[in-house]
């Protein structure tokens, strides 16, 4: 009987017992498998790993380029934002200056209108005062003639009337009336 059968029949494990023939064939099969793998499989695995490595490196390079571009765009965006803020500040400043200028011009125009209105009112008051004085003189003259006619009980001719009116007006002081009106 062969030793493996003896080991199996004796109740022992034939795999544990050293068998030179099986070991030799196992080594030959292992060598053929390694040679087969190294000729056909390992180059493909190596090639796949190299492709994967190259793809990863390309992805890293692409990511680096994308990051650099993003940083450039961010810097450009920040610069534009800074310029936009500067322009908006300038626009706001110009608008404030224009508003202040418009306000000054409006106030000055209002002052000019007030001065014109005040001068116009003073002229109107002076003209009204002159008219009132003229009417008052006429009224005084009429009253003087009427009073004289009643006192003397005779009708005065035009030369007498004129003389009496001039005397009465000469005695009256209208300067206080006209200066008091112009003070208001």
Please tell me the predicted confidence (pLDDT) of residue 158.
Answer: 76
**Enclosing H/E stretch for 53:** helix 42-152
Please tell me the predicted confidence (pLDDT) of residue 176.
Answer: 59
**pTM here?**
0.40
Please tell me the predicted confidence (pLDDT) of residue 174.
Answer: 59
Please tell me the predicted confidence (pLDDT) of residue 2.
Answer: 53
Please tell me the predicted confidence (pLDDT) of residue 29.
Answer: 96
Spatial contact of 145 and 161, defined as CB atoms under 8 Å apart: yes
pLDDT in tens, 18-72: 778 888 999 999 999 999 999 998 899 999 999 999 999 999 999 999 999 999 9
Measured CA to CA, the distance from residue 28 to residue 31 in angstroms comes to 5
**Residue written as token pair 């965006």:** 77
The more confidently predicted of residues 14 and 165 is 165
**Enclosing H/E stretch for 90:** helix 42-152
pLDDT in tens, 129-156: 999 888 888 888 777 777 777 777 666 6
Please tell me the predicted confidence (pLDDT) of residue 81.
Answer: 95
Spatial contact of 4 and 19, defined as CB atoms under 8 Å apart: yes
Q: What is the dihedral of CA 82, 87, 88, 89, to 10 degrees?
A: 90
- Across the chain, mean pLDDT equals 84
Spatial contact of 140 and 168, defined as CB atoms under 8 Å apart: yes
The pLDDT-based confidence of 1 (bands split at 50, 70, 90) is: very low
pLDDT in tens, 114-136: 999 999 999 999 999 999 888 88
Query: Radius of gyration over alpha carbons of the chain, in Å?
Result: 65
The more confidently predicted of residues 46 and 177 is 46
With pLDDT > 90 as the criterion, what percentage of the chain qualifies? 55
DSSP 8-state code for residue 148: H
């Amino acid at each position: 009987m062969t030793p493996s059968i003896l080991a199996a029949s004796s109740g022992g494990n034939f795999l544990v017992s050293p068998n030179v023939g099986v070991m030799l064939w196992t080594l030959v099969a292992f060598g053929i498998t390694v040679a087969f793998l190294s000729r056909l499989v390992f180059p493909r695995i190596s090639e796949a790993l190299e492709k994967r490595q190259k793809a990863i490196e390309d992805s890293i390079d692409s990511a680096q380029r994308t990051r650099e571009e993003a940083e450039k765009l961010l810097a450009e965006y920040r610069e534009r934002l800074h310029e936009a803020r500067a322009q908006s500040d300038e626009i706001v400043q110009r608008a404030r200056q224009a508003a202040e200028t418009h306000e000054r011009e409006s106030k000055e125009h209002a002052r000019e209108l007030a001065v014109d209105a005040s001068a116009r009112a003073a002229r109107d008051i002076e003209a009204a005062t002159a008219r009132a004085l003229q009417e008052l003189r006429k009224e005084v003259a009429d009253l003087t003639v009427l009073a004289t006619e009643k006192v003397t009980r005779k009708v005065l001719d035009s030369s007498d009337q004129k003389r009496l009116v001039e005397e009465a007006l000469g005695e009256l002081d209208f300067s206080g009336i006209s200066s008091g009106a112009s003070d208001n």
